[in-house]
Amino acid sequence: MGPKKTAAAVAGERKKEKVTLEMKKEIIWKHNSGMRVTDIAREYGRNPSTIGTILKMREKILATDAAKGVTRIVKNRPAVLEEVEKLLLIWIEEKQRAGDTVSEAVICEKAKALHADLIQEQPGTSAEPEVFKASRGWFDRFKTRSGIHSVVRHGEAASSDVPAAEDFAAEFLELVKTEGYVPQHVFNCDETGLFWKRMPKRTFITQEESRLPGHKPMKDRLTLLFCANASGDLKIKPLLVYHSENPRAFKRHKIDKERLSVMWRSNSKAWVTRVLFVDWVNLAFGPAVKQYLLDNDLPLKALLLMDNAPAHPKGLEVDLLEEFSFINIMFLPPNTTPLLQPMDQQVIANFKKLYTKELFRRCFEVTDCTTITLREFWKDHFDIVTCLKMVNTAWKGISQRNLNCAWRSLWPDCVAPSDSDAPESTVVQDIVALGRTMGLEVTKEDVCELVEGHDDELTTVELVELQAEAAQEQASLEEEEATEERLSSERLRDICQKWKEVQTFADLHHHEKHVAHDAGNFYDTRVMSSFRELLKRRIKQQTMDRFLTKKQRVEEEPSSSGPPES
């Protein structure tokens, strides 16, 4: 019998990461693309025999449609349970994008609800006695299969962390004092969803649309990112993300996207992503802040405060253009945004109320001043272009006082004194009055429910649709990665260097320097940044590979301090 391994030796061994089904499919795809087994084994840190075993099972693996992160194919596992776990992972991701932390109990309840919905949709399942309990054992296995981590085992997941908020507020005030920031220097940004074509549930418009098969304008969602400074006198151009890059209404109204009151961007889920956020910082936030500080003879420095949503990347300073290096970033701790984030202190809620008021006002004008009925306007004339005009009006309607008062919880000294604490307007009452003038059954409670409803979580049907979109997006990504593989690092490095030379030349010699500068920044951010990111990833990977190879070689070499050979 060989000598037993010491505890130190066991601890020193590197624990291998489990090979997920997703990874196995990736291995099969790379082998089918012509990559050798030995090269794949080296890349994944596995024995060639392990890769060979995976390739032998390729048909079974490729035929398996499991939740992301699953490592094993379980025999006789109900297909509906696989579907539940896939939808559950999408739902958890949605929660995380909103900055929420979910608990075990909440996940289990959602799993049971998804299971019940899917069973109900299956034909001929009325007599099935199948019951899914979402037990502790299932949850632990689900965590192992999927690799989820952002889960609270006990207690309230989304409860506000008061001690963390107090500690952060003290840290923030200390930073403000040390760096000499004034309210004009400090900014906050936050995203929110907007169902731009939604009416209170009890109106006949909503009831009529709910009866139309396959008609979902009420669920047509876009995402807005708002930003302003603590003094409230600078609003940044909002970022708007929609699921379509060029809606039909744009062509009909001959819209120039560069001249919109928002920065228009798109992706299939209408979400703010890291790339879109960096785009907004460099093309909207940075230029506006720099010009504002210069116009007001203020020191060239700024602080952007935001939550830790996935779209807000750590190390954002690295992605800033050189001319915006004066901008510093600070993140709010998890579960403190309801307590501290200024945009959450009635700014976004007031925007949605003002948007709803503008929606009702336009409906009233149409029915009062034209022969078009409300139903006709809603069906044939209310489009995304009209929505953009209302977004602009509502954002303009947010007062400087509202923006400044939003900092009371975090930075009370920056809030200007007021003669009255009375509300600035009676927006909700105005909406109710307009609705009743048009013959709509609307109450104050209906309006409040509508405003809060913009943050409703997705239904099972919507999660299924998102899953289908994700699969399509993954196929596009694989095609994109195959294209990237054909670009050599040397070629990428050469192109990036040549672009830098072209940009420098244009900045120096173009007769309209500001035109060359703006056009260069736009192209650099929208086009060249993706090539630079690809090159950075490759350099990091090459560095890591060299490090691991060197480390492995050192470990394999016999120690010079060991006992002499006999």
The two three-digit tokens of residue 73, written as one number: 């194919």
Residue 101 has pLDDT above 70, yes or no: no
Burial of 238 (0-12, 13-18, 19+ CB in 10 A): buried
The 10s digit of each residue's pLDDT in 121-180 is 776 555 454 678 888 888 888 877 776 665 554 434 445 678 888 999 999 999 999 999
The 3-state secondary structure of 487-546 reads: CCHHHHHHHHHHHHHHHHHHHHHCCCHHHHHHHHHHHHHHHHHHHHHHHHHHHHHHHHHH
pLDDT at 175: 95
Q: What is the mean pLDDT of residues 381-398?
A: 92
pLDDT at 382: 84
Run of H or E including 195: strand 186-195
The two three-digit tokens of residue 252, written as one number: 């009909």
Phi, psi of 12 (to 5 degrees): -75, -20
Q: What is the mean pLDDT of residues 545-550?
A: 54
- Which residues are within 8 A (CB) of 42 and not within 5 positions of it... i.e. 6 or more apart? none
Q: Which amino acid is at 336?
A: T
Q: Tell which residue, 394, 473, 460, 468, has the closest CA to residue 427.
A: 394
The 10s digit of each residue's pLDDT in 235-291 is 999 999 998 888 888 888 888 898 999 999 988 778 888 889 999 999 999 999 999
CA 358 to chain CA centroid, Å, is 28
- Could you state, in order of their start, the residue ranges of all structural domains in the chain? 21-152, 162-415+425-460, 487-547
Least confident of 60-69, 202-211, 222-231, 524-533: 202-211
Q: What is the mean pLDDT of the chain?
A: 78
| Exposure class string for 546-555: b at 16+ Cβ within 10 A, else e | eeeeeeeeee
273/357 Cα distance (integer angstroms)? 30
- Helix, strand or coil for residue 6? coil
95/455 Cα distance (integer angstroms)? 11
Residue 404 has pLDDT above 80, yes or no: yes
List Cα–Cα distances, 449 to 99, 199, 352, 442, 555, in angstroms. Answer: 22, 10, 11, 11, 64
Which is more confidently placed, 107 or 467? Answer: 107
pLDDT band at 294 (very low <50, low <70, confident <90, very high): very high
- Helix, strand or coil for residue 299? coil
Q: What is the mean pLDDT of residues 485-491?
A: 74
Residue 76 has pLDDT above 60, yes or no: no
The 3-state secondary structure of 506-519 reads: HHHHCCCHHHHHHH
Q: Which fold has domain 162-415+425-460?
A: Nucleotidyltransferase; domain 5 (3.30.420)
CA 389 to chain CA centroid, Å, is 25
Q: Tell which residue, 247, 262, 282, has the closest CA to residue 526.
A: 282
Could you tell me which residues are beta bridge partners of residue 242? 266
pLDDT at 9: 43
